[in-house]
Amino acid sequence: MSLVSYLADITERRVQDRARIVFDDYNHVAQCDHKLSPKGQELVELAEEWGTTREKLIEMRQWMKRITKTCEERLAREKIVLCTLNEARDQVLRKQYITKGEASKIAPICGGEILDLEAVYNGLMVRGRYLLVSESAVVEGLKKFAPDYLLNGLIQERTSA
C-alpha cells in the first residue's frame, strides 16, 4: 500500500466521522447530515444504559440549556473590576471595569468561577496576574475606606479574616 493510498484511507474515515481535516494546503470540513430529533429518539439507548427514561433525559437536556442560558446572561450583565498586576504581584498596572464575560476571556478563569466570586471568594480573587473584585466588594470598600486605600483595605480585611 502506497503512502498516498494510506493517507486517502485515513481521510476517508475521518470524513465519515464528520471530522475537520486539515493538511498542508488543503482544508475539508465534512458535512454533518444528522440532527438530534426534537423528541429525542436517539436517547432511548442512552436512557436504557443509564437506567432512566428518555423523558427524564430530555428534561435534563432542557434544564441544562436553561442553566447555560442563565449563566451566559449573567456573564454578559454583571460587572467586576479586573486589575492587572505586575510579575511580583505587588503593584496594580491597570484597572478595568468590565463584564464578567469579558473578564473570563482576558483572565485565565472559567466563567463559573467568576459567577461564584461573591459567594465563594467573598468578592475578591487573585488568579495569576489578575485580581478580580466584585461590584458589591467595591461598594462595601468605598464605604469603609477612602478611595486611595480601597484595594489595600479590602485585601487586609480579607487576609485577616
Q: What is the value of pTM for the model shown?
A: 0.60
Q: Which residues pair with 131 in a beta bridge?
A: 83, 126
pLDDT above 70 as % of the chain: 73
**pLDDT tens, position by position, 121-147:** 888 888 889 989 998 888 888 888 777
**pLDDT tens, position by position, 44-63:** 777 788 888 888 888 888 99
Distances, alpha carbon 17 to alpha carbons 5, 34, 42, 149, in Å: 19, 12, 17, 58
Pick the range with the lowest mean pLDDT from 18-22, 61-65, 102-106, 154-158.
Answer: 18-22
Backbone φ/ψ region at 97: left (φ over 0), alpha (ψ -120 to 50), beta: beta
80: three-class secondary structure by DSSP: strand
Q: Which residues pair with 83 in a beta bridge?
A: 95, 131
In which band, very low, low, confident or very high, does the pLDDT at 13 lie, cut at 50, 70 and 90?
A: low
